[in-house]
Structure 1
Amino acid sequence: MKKNKTILIAFSILMSLLLAACGSGGETSGDGNGESTGDSGQKVIGVSISNLDEFLTYMQDAMKEEAANYPDFEFIFSDAQNDSTQQMAQVENFISRNVDAIIVNPVDTTSAVDIVNMVNDAGIPIIIANRTFDGVDQATAFVGSESIQSGLLQMEEVAKLLNNEGNIAIMDGELGHEAQIMRTEGNKQIIEEHDGLEVVLQGTAKFDRSEGMRLMENWLNSGTEIDAVVANNDEMALGAILALEAVGKLDDVIVAGIDATPAALEAMKEGKLDVTVFQDAKGQGATSVKVAVQAANGEDVEDAMIPYELVTPENVEEYEAKY
């Protein structure tokens, strides 16, 4: 009986440990390598990323690389998996741990306001990374890029390639996201400057490649003449390329994206993607960590704006070397 009881207790302990691991929400803790140091004298910075798509994965990798430069700090990384409720819970967890600073890449603009207010009420510095929103000025600092600039650069180049005449299809990202709103606004500002350019189709593909492919297929089936597809990000542009290739129409349509991810740069080298705009994932990630460390140390910090840069087949190799 004693032997059976001992086995039962050991099994219960094992199950408790497994359940605790499953409920961690993708959280890693430590010096940026997922290894906890266990040094209670360290300052702690919590990081919540909205979701680990290609661009944000590069941004988080840059954060971890920069975090390794601060051995006196422990960094806790969490993936919200595009769930605002989960992100709120992660930030609440950081607050309960009494961390010294928090970096948040927001899932959406509504919950972001509540998160900033909650962290401010706790007296903890909060750095917003990559995605801005109305009310971001209440955060300790914002690190990112001016979204409208990318839309302007992107559409200016498309207009040039079309000789200022043609039918434009705009692929929106997740509706309501600041990047979707402002990138499209930049596109339309340029379009309105040219009488020969017209938006004939517009729809959301949610920043997703498969959604971009599906939307492009629907547009092709509609029979509407399209001279250029202008997408809010590279993933959707790559999806549009897949659909156009499948029906042999890629050579007839200009395709433009934003972010200049490695996959997009490869597509450009292959002659499939005509335009993209470099958003510096590494610069945003590393700078977010630097600013958070300064804030955690009680230093005054300011917003850090990192400019977008136009990428074309002529300079694509320069940007490929950045990865």
Structure 2
Amino acid sequence: MIKKTLLAASILCSASNFAFADTLVIGAPMPSFADKWLSYLFEGISEFDTAHSDVDIKLTDANEDPSKMLNDVDNFIDANVNALLVVPTDVAIVKPIAKKAGRAGIPLVIVNRLPNESTMKNVDAYVGSESIQAGIIQAESIVGMLDGKQGNVAILMGVLGHEAQINRTEGNKQVFAKHSNIKVIAEQEGRWDRAKALQITEDWLQAHPEINVIVANNDEMAIGALLAAKKAGLTDADLIISGVDATPDALEYLGAGLDSTVFQSAKGQGYGGAEIAYKLAKGEKVQKMNWIDFELVAEEQKAEYLSKY
């Protein structure tokens, strides 16, 4: 059974502390148990674990602290786990993790946050969605909704430097650059956070009343923008708002202030990552890059996508 717990070094002294000898053990350092979207990814890992009696997947919480994550990796390596399944705090941390795993001869699977090509050479497999695809799909939905009208766009970005922040924003800008009626007039780091995005949007609506489109790198920030717009007395007709992830919270707002969102299968990534780590732990060959496509969600598909959670 999967265990989301902070594991002290004292109980990680040997693999026998984890499970019986005939059970594979996968160490899964995670960036944050508090992250809403990641909680669905954890559910995917749990579903795989529950379906396979010969594996024990153990999650640790780094509280978004890279040094804590490295310490968790060291503890798992000391315990001689059969594989590592990691959602990194940031892509830069994958390089030292890969070095540690390589020296120990432990297979390494990275999920959701894609490291650079050089680092990927030392990673056994990656499972995730191509972030630039999300930005392109999202921006194309905006183009369609504007239908040739002027679009004055503000972009709410995730934590600067995160692969998803960089590539979702790049995807947005690639599309918008092709349309002379669309101009990006503001962009700011919202750190994936609803409250932060609400504050930023309130300031934008004061400083740039011409803004009529807000594109967010994730749904939590899109919801923050939506709440700020409502506080300012704006209607859905005044402001187009788009997010990414199609979380249950966002789907509830779809068609009621949120104009579009792009589904990223958190459960699919979690389940897929666990499956790849399990196969590597058993010595099986796997595909290195494992992509799970993004999907634009229309308002009439709300019930269908809510059922995925």
Indicate whether the TM-score tops 0.5. yes
- Alpha-carbon deviation of 1:71? 1.2
- Matched residue of 2:300: which SS? coil
1:94 is aligned to 2:76 = yes
> Larger relative CO (CA 8 A, sep 6+): 1 or 2?
2
Moved more, 100-109 or 221-230: 221-230
| Uncovered stretches (5+) of structure 1, i.e. residues with no partner | 1-21, 30-35
Given residue 171 of structure 1, which amino acid in structure 2 is its aligned partner?
A: L
3-state SS in 2 of match to 1:188: helix
Aligned-pair CA distance for 1:98: 0.6
User: Given the superposition, is the C-alpha separation of residues 112 and 250 from structure 1 closer, same or farther in structure 2, using an over 3 Å criterion?
Assistant: farther
Matches within 5 A, 1:192-271: 192-251=177-236, 252-269=238-255, 271=256
Residue identity opposite 1:98 in structure 2 = N
Percent identity for Structure 1 against Structure 2: 40
Distance 2:187 2:50 in 1: 43
Q: Work out the CA distance in 2 between the residues paired with 1:188 and 1:264.
A: 23
Q: Does 1:143 align with 2:124?
A: no
Correspondence for 2:61: 79
Separation in structure 1 between the aligned mates of residue 18 and residue 79 of structure 2, nearest angstrom: 16
Partner of 2:293: 307
- Mapping 1:95-174, distance limit 5 Å: 95-134=77-116, 135-164=119-148, 165-174=150-159
Distance 1:51 1:60 in 2: 10
Work out which of the residue numbers 24, 33, 43 in structure 2 matches 1:43: 24
Q: Show CA shifts across 1:19-49 (max 9, x none).
A: xxx9747xx99xxxxxx87423322100111
Given the alignment, which residue of 258, 274, 292 partners 1:289? 274
| SS in structure 2 at match of 1:138 | coil
Which secondary structure state, in structure 2, belongs to the residue aligned with residue 153 of structure 1? helix
The letter for the 2-side match of 1:48 is P
Normalization by structure 2: what TM-score? Answer: 0.91
Which residue, 44, 56, 64 being the options, matches 1:62?
44
Alpha-carbon displacement from aligned partner over 1:149-203 (angstroms, at most 9, x marks no partner)? 0000000001110114310001110000000000000000000010110001100
Deviations for 1:100-143, whole angstroms, at most 9, x for unmatched residues?
A: 00000010121121111211121100000111021234210000
Unaligned runs of 5+ in 2: none
Contact between 2:6 and 2:60, CA under 8 Å: does it hold in 1?
Answer: no
CA distance in 1, matches of 2:67, 2:36: 22
**SS state at 1:68 partner:** helix
Contact 1:101 1:295 in 2 (8 A): yes
Within 2, Cα distance between the matches of 1:137 and 1:157? Answer: 35
Summarize the Cα distance change of 1:84–1:137 in structure 2 as closer, same or farther, 3 Å threshold. Answer: same
SS of the equivalent of 1:65 reads: helix
How far off its partner does 1:312 sit?
Answer: 2.0
Aligned residue-pair number? 293
Q: Which residue of structure 2 aligns with residue 9 of structure 1?
A: none
Contact in 1 for aligned 2:18/2:25 (Cα 8 Å) = no
- Range that drifts further, 116-125 or 233-242: 116-125
